[in-house]
Amino acid sequence: AIGSGGGRQGRNDRIAKLLAEADKEAPGGGSSADAAQAVSAGKVTVGAGDEESCVCCIPPLRAHREPAAASIFTFQFGSVTVHQLSDAGVTCDAAWMFPSLNALELEAGFPEGRAVLSFGCVLFRCANGTTVLCDTSVGAPDLGVINLEVHTEQRKRRQLLELLGAVGLSPEDITVVTHSHMHRDHHSWNVIGGTPTFPNAIHLIQRAEFAYWTSTAELKERSGYAATIQPLEAAGKLHLVDGTYDVCDGFRLELCPGHTPGHQLVRVSAMPVADELPCSPPAMYVVGDLLHQTQQVTHPEWSPRFDWSAAAAASIRAAVL
């Protein structure tokens, strides 16, 4: 998502106000920011509905015939080169994905009855040599992290290392990895064979997100913690952040809870090429699972079944947009 980037303080104030109202229906009530603390203190019980909180944990997707197309999409944003790397994708029943929509809304938003889900990462190559990878997607097929092959018609899975090689990079070239959240389809290439995939990179996760998903044995299992997060801790590669955090020149993390308790987006400020006019628009956002479908841009109130708090996620979407 590319936008003006203006009015962040006003947006943050709106988010705080909206969360105070909308998050009452989230597990345990209260604000998303302190959800992890409530879980850790035993004040929150993860109910049966929470078992369907992400693509990794759901019953079989009902797929349609044509899987999403594979892609490496590259464009320039000021002096930064941006690569969209997609390593897996499926199509599923829109009515299943958005259970709160009525028949008229489904017909208007999804006339073919299907929603496309694409899994992947966004890679930024800065002029100063810094490389920032946003999320690490679904992981190697032989890990069995997400058994898409059994449950859906989907395109051939691709190796993330192959995609990196196609744009002229190796795992050693990655310097920063940001994780929008800890659903397994966003961090499962972190580790291969028990060893961090990106040996020179620091991994950034919101502290509230980490606390929530490590608060119980069940949540650790569902997030794939032992396989893809714990090895980063052991190697000293994991860094927890609190709210707004400046990653490096032009890159900022901003907390936007709702899809999960500590979901975050990445705001990238355009860095103009020397002797050229300033970029317009001046900011780009990597929104993670703040948005699952383009239809949510005009209908931010449409929350998929994957959202931890449907009301909070809808409010955050509206505030960010």
123 contacts 160 by C-beta, under 8 angstroms: no
- pTM given for the model: 0.79
Give helix 8-22 / helix 310-320 axis angle, nearest 10°.
160
The predicted structure's pLDDT at residue 231: 97
| Closest to 87 (Cα-Cα) out of 124, 123, 133, 121 | 121
Which amino acid appears at position 24 of this protein? K
Domain span holding position 196: 2-320
CATH of the domain at 55: 3.60.15.10
- The number of distinct structural domains making up the chain is 1
E strand or H helix at 203: strand 202-206
**Average pLDDT for runs of 10 along the chain of length 321:** 47 51 42 40 32 43 41 88 86 90 96 88 93 89 47 54 92 97 93 94 97 96 94 97 94 96 94 62 90 95 95 94 91
